[in-house]
Structure 1
Amino acid sequence: MMNVGDKAPEVLGLNENGEEVRLSVYKGKKVVLYFYPKDNTSGCTAQACSLRDGYEDLRKAGYEVIGVSVDSAASHQKFIAKNNLPFTLIADTDKKLVEQFGVWGEKKMYGRAYMGTFRTTFIINEEGIIERIITPKEVKTKEHAQQILK
């Protein structure tokens, strides 16, 4: 599990185009690394659209946004196109990043237990250090961009 004060990993994974995403590319900016359960589900779409709608304000405040789920690159490409998302999405199909950040685990819905991603946002500062974590209970999907800017 990654905590406030920890150094984030340099290599984050492969994006929707199969390109390696490195933290050093964003040097001098704060990175909003947000983990979400699944492309094209209501809560995840609301969260992505909030970040899309607040993207210019986030950029003006010095942030760059990167989304992460265990969906495939092809799924991410469709999700980006359908919702006109201006930021990259990491396809963490091997679950390496979700496990490294401690956001993968047992979830329960309708009495059924299954493994999944806990909706969590990590704010990484210009030096690559985690400075804030918005936990699953705190994330407000419909107003996530404003939540980050506060």
Structure 2
Amino acid sequence: MPIREGDTAPNFTLPSQTGQMIEFRQILGEKAIVLYFYPKDDTPGCTTESCAFRDSYTVFQNAGAEVIGISADSPESHSKFATKHQLPFILLSDTGNKVRKLFGVPSTLGVLPGRVTYVIDPQGVVRKIFNSQLNFKGHVEEALKALQGG
């Protein structure tokens, strides 16, 4: 069953772009989490989306949220991607797509990994889900609306 609004987000542990293991439950508490799943590092749509999150990162922080990106790319790929585009947030490597499956992120046409953003409150409850393969900047706009009570 896919995760729905009102559900508690599942716990998971994945390596970041620095190789550090990040446990989801350990970063919850003080801040909301904007968790966005994207298909692949350094592709046009994913770069547009990630850079939109980067450009609004201060706004997210001011709204009391942390941004985290997840794809199946390796920590090394994430490190290059984050450095190249000056991404100030954590990118997690879900190489086996286990967390993608845990959240129930759908694929597009059965092959392309889906692009879904979850806004999760500090208690771990999913408050907003935005699913759009092609509305790259919409993920940022919808997440900000949810954080700002819209």
- Quick check: TM above 0.5? yes
Structure 1 counterpart of 2:101, one-letter code: E
Displacement, 1:20? 1.9
User: How is 1:1-150 mapped onto 2 (pairs within 5 angstroms)?
Assistant: 1-23=2-24, 24-105=26-107, 107-108=108-109, 115-136=111-132, 140-142=135-137, 144-150=139-145
Partner of 1:111 in structure 2? none
Displacement, 1:104? 4.6
Consecutive unaligned residues of structure 1, counting only runs of 5 or more, are 109-113
Instruction: Give the conservation status (yes or no) of the 8 Å contact 1:14–1:21.
Output: yes
Displacement, 1:18? 2.2
User: Partners of 2:127 and 2:67 in 1: how far apart?
Assistant: 15
Q: Under a length normalisation based on structure 2, what TM-score does the superposition of the two structures give?
A: 0.87
For 1:94, what is the secondary structure of its paired residue? coil
Deviations 1:38-97 (A, max 9, x none): 000001000000000000011000110000001111110110010000001111001110
Consecutive unaligned residues of structure 2, counting only runs of 5 or more, are 146-150
**Which runs of at least 4 in structure 1 moved beyond 4 Å after TM superposition?**
none
Aligned sequence identity (%): 38
Structure 1 counterpart of 2:34, one-letter code: V
Structure 1 counterpart of 2:53, one-letter code: L
For 2:137, what is the secondary structure of its paired residue? helix
User: Partners of 1:120 and 1:144 in 2: how far apart?
Assistant: 8
Q: How well do the aligned residues superpose, as a CA RMSD in angstroms?
A: 1.7
